Amino acid sequence: AQSVAQPEDQVNVAEGNPLTVKCTYSVSGNPYLFWYVQYPNRGLQFLLKYITGDNLVKGSYGFEAEFNKSQTSFHLKKPSALVSDSALYFCAVRDGNTPLVFGKGTRLSVIA
């Protein structure tokens, strides 16, 4: 069965600095990987996905993620953080026809 780990419950970063939110996964087949963001009192919003192709995936709001097969990781990155990026971030994986499995989430706090 597939699983996702987000090892950090909380990430703090100063505005303007680069940010990384970590995600590792485990699947038996080829992974389909996703990042979602949840703002306070809102539903989840899709940020980006990796299905196949280039290991560096670009998504919404200037975010990108790098698929690393050997390390089974899919870390979310942004070169310069904004205060408005403060939210809860979820990594998710699916394997073929299976439903998405989500990590427990990482709360990102960007400090002005």
Nearest by Cα to 23 from 7, 10, 45, 36: 7
> Contact region for another protein (CB under 8 A) — 13-21, 55-63, 75-83, 103-111?
103-111
Nearest by Cα to 104 from 96, 86, 92, 94: 92
Q: Considering just the CA atoms, what is the radius of gyration of the chain in Å?
A: 13
Q: Which residue among 25, 32, 67, 89 contacts another protein (CB under 8 A)?
A: 32
Number of residues in the chain: 112
| Closest distance to another protein from the beta carbon of 47 (Å) | 10
Q: State the first-to-last Cα distance of the chain, in angstroms, to the nearest integer.
A: 41
Task: Decide if residue 51 touches another protein (CB under 8 A).
Answer: yes
Task: Decide if residue 40 touches another protein (CB under 8 A).
Answer: no
| Closest distance to another protein from the beta carbon of 82 (Å) | 22
In the bound state with another protein, the residue whose beta carbon lies nearer, of 46 and 61, is 46
Nearest by Cα to 68 from 23, 1, 3, 8: 23
Task: Decide if residue 63 touches another protein (CB under 8 A).
Answer: no
Task: Decide if residue 67 touches another protein (CB under 8 A).
Answer: no
Task: Decide if residue 90 touches another protein (CB under 8 A).
Answer: yes
